[in-house]
């Protein structure tokens, strides 16, 4: 399993603490340093079963600068999907964290203990 983290994020640190406590075998990806490509983001979205706007941190400064809350400029449908993915790749701080890719090919956004345990059970 792999976990995408920002070390400054308390939810990420909590997820790592739980993974360690459970003896999980995982690799860490500091996604702000090792930025995922658009194809990697597409693959994670498929594993999550989510759309790019579902994993976007809209309170970040970059989101405000891009005006991501403007639904006319940033449609949340198939017509806007690629643009959202490009924005996530160009501004990785917008990606919700932590994201855990489970061994069964799925993924979860591990913001809660329950979500992290869900990933562990896969």
Question: Looking at the predicted structure, is the pLDDT value of residue 122 above 90?
Answer: no
CA dihedral sign of residues 12, 17, 21, 27: positive
Which tokens is 96 given?
């919700």
Helices (H), 9-80: 10-21, 38-48, 61-66
Does the active-site annotation cover 12?
Answer: no
Strand order in the sheet with 27-30: 27-30, 2-5, 99-101, 107-109
Give every CB contact of residue 32 below 8 A, 6+ residues apart in sequence: 6, 92, 93
Per-residue model confidence as pLDDT tens digits over 22-31: 999 999 999 9
| C-alpha span between 39 and 25 (Å, rounded) | 25
Per-residue model confidence as pLDDT tens digits over 105-120: 999 999 999 999 999 9
Per-residue model confidence as pLDDT tens digits over 36-85: 999 999 999 999 999 999 999 999 999 999 999 999 999 999 999 999 99
Catalytic choice (1, 5, 8, 9): 9
What does 71-112 look like in DSSP terms, one character per residue? TTTS-SSTTTHHHHHHHHHH-GGGB-S-EEE-TTS-EEE--S
To the question of pTM greater than 0.85 for the whole model, the response is yes
């Amino acid at each position: 399993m792999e976990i995408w983290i920002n070390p400054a994020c308390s939810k990420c640190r909590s997820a790592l603490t739980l993974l360690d406590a459970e003896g999980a075998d995982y690799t860490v990806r500091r996604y702000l340093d090792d930025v995922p490509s658009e194809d990697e983001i597409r693959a994670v979205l498929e594993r999550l079963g989510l759309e790019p706007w579902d994993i976007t941190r809209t309170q970040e400064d970059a989101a405000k600068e891009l005006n991501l809350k403007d639904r006319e400029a940033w449609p949340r449908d198939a017509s806007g999907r690629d643009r959202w993915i490009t924005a996530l790749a160009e501004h990785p701080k917008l990606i919700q964290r932590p994201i855990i890719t489970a061994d069964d090919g799925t993924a979860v956004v591990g913001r809660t203990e329950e979500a992290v345990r869900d990933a562990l059970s896969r």
